[in-house]
């Protein structure tokens, strides 16, 4: 059964890899990203029977969230909402004693407030279908204490809690906080400037873990890609 999905931050990395997989299986995928040219170039010719609807913009902008709402309505509804877009914050990663208040405010607005606002806007669509699902991208920084990762980790911990509460409040939906683990992405490179991160897995190798989770539809909760992939071996 094909679905309609919305994947934020789909111009590169895990968002693009997931979009490619959804298009390959025939889904309609609404995507967004801040860089209109990069989003168009990345998603214009993805192979498969599915369809991509690109809506460039910044998720912290209410007008852009409204444009996504319009795109979803024109697509006929929404089955899957994936909050992939996010920001790392300053690079190199500062210790909490050096984390500027405005930098943390920007992290919070992008990683927590904007996903919540978009979810609230799209909940009516998600509630109408038989398999409405929300996925938030988590991180081990949400549950582990890594020096320098306090600001980013705090926002991911908050997003985990929002996902947990939403799952409790919306029993008709499935709400998953999905931790993909380390990946070879631009964001991860910014976390380790000047270091070689070629040993990290490509995002496309992590996508099957999320697709398997969506296929199995366990109760709402937090899931690690490493555990999901291990269970299939």
Nearest alpha-carbon partner for 163 in 111, 204, 207:
111
215-217-222-226 Cα dihedral, nearest 10 degrees: -30
Q: Where are the beta strands (DSSP E) in the chain?
A: 4-7, 28-31, 51-54, 80-83, 133-137, 174-179, 221-224
Question: How do beta strands 133-137 and 80-83 pair?
Answer: parallel
Would you please indicate which residues are annotated as catalytic (active-site) residues?
152
| The token pair that represents 220 in the structure block | 């709402």
């Amino acid at each position: 059964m094909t679905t309609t999905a919305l994947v934020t931050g789909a111009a590169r990395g895990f968002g693009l890899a997931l979009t490619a997989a959804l298009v390959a299986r025939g889904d309609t995928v609404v995507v967004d990203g801040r860089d209109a040219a990069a989003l168009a170039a990345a998603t214009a010719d993805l192979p498969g029977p599915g369809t991509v609807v690109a809506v460039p913009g910044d998720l912290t902008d209410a007008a852009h969230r409204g444009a996504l709402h319009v795109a979803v309505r024109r697509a006929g509804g929404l089955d899957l909402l994936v909050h992939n877009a996010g920001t790392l914050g300053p690079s190199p990663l500062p210790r909490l004693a050096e984390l500027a208040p405005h930098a943390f405010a920007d992290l919070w607005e992008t990683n927590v407030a904007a996903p919540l606002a978009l979810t609230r806007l799209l909940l009516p669509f998600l509630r109408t279908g038989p398999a409405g699902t929300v996925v938030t991208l988590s991180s081990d920084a949400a549950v582990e204490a890594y020096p320098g990762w306090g600001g980013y980790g705090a926002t991911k911990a908050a997003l985990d809690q929002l996902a947990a509460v939403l799952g409790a409040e919306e029993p008709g939906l499935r709400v998953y906080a999905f931790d993909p683990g380390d990946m070879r992405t631009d964001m991860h490179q910014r976390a380790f400037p000047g270091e070689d991160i070629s040993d990290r897995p490509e995002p496309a190798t992590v996508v099957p873990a999320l697709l398997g989770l969506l296929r199995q539809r366990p109760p709402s909760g937090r899931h690690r890609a490493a555990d999901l992939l291990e269970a299939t071996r």
